[in-house]
Structure 1
Amino acid sequence: MIHLDHLTTTPPLPEVIDAMRPWHESHFGAAGSLHQLGLEARDALDEARSSLAKLVNATDPEEIIFTSNGTEAVNLAVKGAALANRRFGKHIVTTQIEHPAVLGSIAWLGEQGFERTQLSVDNQGRIDPAALGQALRDDTALVGLHHASHDLGTIQPIAEAARLTRERGIPLFVDATLSGGWLPLDVQQLGVDLVALAPHRFHGPKGVGVLYRNRRTLIEPLIHGGVHENELRAGTENIAAIVGAGVAAESALANLGQRSNLTGELQRKLLTGIRDAVAGVHLNGPEPGEHRLPHHLSLSTEQVEGEGQALAMDLQGVAIHAGAACTTKSMKIPPALEAIGLDADLARGTTLWGIGADTSEADITGAIECFTDVTGKLRAITPVEDLLS
């Protein structure tokens, strides 16, 4: 199988699996226990927390909160910060094209009386910092932005946004569940208050999420019970997954430049190869370079349906994603594509491609050949007008 769906999830590194194995076997203690097994778990928890803190350059490992996954980390940041700051106001600023976890959390807050302003984006999926500044109000309790778009690969001007929010004393949450481990992320340099990470997207395990919280930023816990995670997230920690996340973070930090360069080269090769081989393929978001994630492509193909391409390629041993990120199967146009003004028929031909640290040049060559073959066959047997009718 050629796996080019690394935007959805990545295979854990061998060293991640090796580090986790003892915690599924002999080291099964809970970090809250006083006996030796508990002390071992607590030490492992502290070590992983330190590794994640280094990945984002937090000032203190205690600013790292472990959750069950990236979605929970997003929910804790958005809901937790909004609820903790509601005495200052009930207004939230975000964009039209956030991840469903962000928009769903804000929709829930809307049921609790919060108001939201959604910023529009340009045809590349970028926000205008000036528009953000104009949207901020005296009662704005939170600003929530993604570091890079799940659907478009577009990198947002987070540092500029943070300058605006800091001037007004408004917490800024950054969803880095796709960019974490792939782009430099220095919370001190950027000046952000909350950052969510998903280790399974940078070759760590599933079953653990990460939230960076600046120690001065208030949040309310959403899960109540024990005093785990500094009383901000109750529940026995998944030590095995957390250990794996720590190892993945160490690898990402040590290899960030090399990994970015490697996947960037393969990204350009994949895009060039597809453009040369198949007519009518459009890139959504910026061209490869400083404004785009180095391992992400969003392609819309004329006269074909993206889900059909993905299913046909899967039968030939190539895994890609169709439609919008993190959604169920649907013919509905992804909101991000609608926001950038993509034609509805063309939007239905959208596929997402994710390159990983384990991707080879042979994988890229094989994927180009497969995409070319599948697209030609689908166009021959299923005219898109008939499909849509």
Structure 2
Amino acid sequence: MTDNLVPVHPGLAGGPVYLDYNATTPVDPRVTEAMLPYLTDFFGNPSSNHPYSTEPRQALARARAQVAGLIGARADEVVFTSSGSEADLLALRGTVLTSGHPRPHVITQVTEHPAVLGTCRSLERLHGARVTVLPVDGNGLVDPAALAAALTDDTVVVSVMAANNETGALQPITELAALAHERGVRFHCDAAQAAGKISLDVEELGVDLLTVVGHKMYAPKGIAALYVRDGVRLEPVAYGGGQERGLRAGTENVALAVALGAAARIAAGDPSDGTQARIAARQRGLHPRLAAALPGRVHLNGPDKGRLPNTLNVSIDGVIGHELLTAALGIAASTGSACHSGNHTPSPVLTAMGLDSKRALGALRLSLGRWSTPDDIETAATQLVKAAAAH
């Protein structure tokens, strides 16, 4: 374990085995410790000009530099937002509204997060944009040739996520961004699931805009950031006092910004302590255990290689994912299906990859994290196999 990392997170002690880190992460106690003074002692408005504002203003600057350090950016290229959805909205709407095109063209892909797909639909409805949604292959990946063919003189922005939240599939962002830039097109990447799990460098990726989300990397909900490459113009998402480079007005939430900065600092230091390597090893051990215990019934969804080190998405023949999780007592995980008011439908991500409805409904998303232990993997495998064998 890393220094100062508690063996068992207080929020997980005594509860079910938590395998839903892609949905949200427990807040790291070190992050909580870093942010607490800005909820108590250092309450000043960072935009004020008196002693009470000094520490909040400096803390905000440190947090911005810490987030920038995680992704290889400059501190002045980091804009704090309230969520990944807001960051995606700022990136896409902001680009479209400053493009000057009478009917701007936006390109995305079919397995994007609803924050991106929903923003694209709003741009069609409210701003006359034309949107192209690229297909994916059986591993959930975009074909760069498909992007090249879709680019036109009217294309103003391409948005492709770094890693899929359900399957963990890693998109070829560097190649896709280079294709966009050959045509003078901005490239946005939603890296909500990737940041803190794999190495990200905005210069190596070649992206113009990149979304980072706090609650996916052990910070609280309600804080995120958008990397905006120097020189990229965006229409603000909120108007008023000029905070966040004039792109998001409103008094900054210093405590949450500090939390995101602390989470980014911890994640950036991970290569030296091996946390991600341990997570990856435990994830790799789960799939073969399930497959050996349920021969011929377990199918991997997404790429075998080239996916997030913490994410496993599998379908088990003869079961419905949400029913299996209900029967597998002591496990908190997700399925590949979207559940609304008890109506379970196949995951759009999995069906876009070509899975039939039966296999898509049998999917489980098992995502590990900082506090996943070997005992958790043992318990999860035992409970899932026991529940599946009963079907």
Could you say which TM-score interval applies, normalised by the shorter chain? over 0.9
Question: Structure 2 CA distance, aligned partners of 1:181 and 1:20?
Answer: 19
Contact 2:27–2:219 (Cα < 8 Å) also in 1 = yes
Alignment partner, residue 174 of structure 2: 159
Alignment partner, residue 348 of structure 1: 361
Contact 1:3–1:319 (Cα < 8 Å) also in 2 = yes
User: Runs of 5+ in structure 2 lacking a partner?
Assistant: 1-14
Counterpart check, 1:102 vs 2:119 = no
2:214 to 180, 185, 199: 199
Contact 1:150–1:178 (Cα < 8 Å) also in 2 = yes
Question: Structure 2 CA distance, aligned partners of 1:34 and 1:3?
Answer: 45
Contact 1:96–1:121 (Cα < 8 Å) also in 2 = yes
Equivalent runs, 1:304-343 vs 2, <5 Å: 304-313=319-328, 316-324=329-337, 330-343=343-356
Question: Structure 2 CA distance, aligned partners of 1:244 and 1:130?
Answer: 40
Contact 1:86–1:141 (Cα < 8 Å) also in 2 = no
The code of the aligned residue for 2:92 comes to: V
The code of the aligned residue for 2:22 comes to: L
> Normalised by the size of structure 1, how large is the TM-score?
0.92
* Alpha-carbon spacing, 1:41–1:326, altered in 2? closer, same or farther (3 Å): farther
Contact 2:101–2:154 (Cα < 8 Å) also in 1 = no
Question: Structure 2 CA distance, aligned partners of 1:326 and 1:130?
Answer: 34
Contact 1:65–1:213 (Cα < 8 Å) also in 2 = yes
Partner secondary structure for residue 133 of structure 2? strand
2:300 to 283, 298, 314: 283
1:242 to 257, 261, 281: 257
Counterpart check, 1:40 vs 2:55 = yes
What are the Cα deviations for residues 317-367 of structure 1, in whole angstroms up to 9, with x where unaligned? 211012347987642221111111101111111121111011111111111
Contact 1:146–1:175 (Cα < 8 Å) also in 2 = yes
Alignment partner, residue 162 of structure 2: 147
**Identity between Structure 1 and Structure 2 (%):** 38
Residue 88 (structure 1) shift: 7.3
* Alpha-carbon spacing, 1:146–1:324, altered in 2? closer, same or farther (3 Å): farther
Partner secondary structure for residue 292 of structure 1? coil
> Normalised by the size of structure 2, how large is the TM-score?
0.92
Residue 89 (structure 1) shift: 5.0
Counterpart check, 1:67 vs 2:81 = yes
The 10-residue stretch of structure 1 (194-203 or 368-377) with the greater mean CA deviation from structure 2: 368-377
What are the Cα deviations for residues 149-175 of structure 1, in whole angstroms up to 9, with x where unaligned? 112211010110111111111000001
Q: Report the count of equivalent residues.
A: 373
User: Runs of 5+ in structure 1 lacking a partner?
Assistant: 380-389
Equivalent runs, 1:1-389 vs 2, <5 Å: 1=15, 2-58=17-73, 60-87=74-101, 89-111=103-125, 112-256=127-271, 258-279=274-295, 280-287=297-304, 289=305, 291-313=306-328, 316-324=329-337, 330-377=343-390, 379=391
The 10-residue stretch of structure 1 (198-207 or 328-337) with the greater mean CA deviation from structure 2: 328-337
Taking only aligned residues, the RMSD between alpha carbons, in angstroms, comes to 1.6
Question: Structure 2 CA distance, aligned partners of 1:249 and 1:50?
Answer: 10
The code of the aligned residue for 1:365 comes to: E
Contact 2:337–2:345 (Cα < 8 Å) also in 1 = no
What are the Cα deviations for residues 177-233 of structure 1, in whole angstroms up to 9, with x where unaligned? 111111111001111100001121111221101100001111111212221101100
Question: Structure 1 CA distance, aligned partners of 2:347 and 2:94?
Answer: 27
Residue 260 (structure 1) shift: 2.7
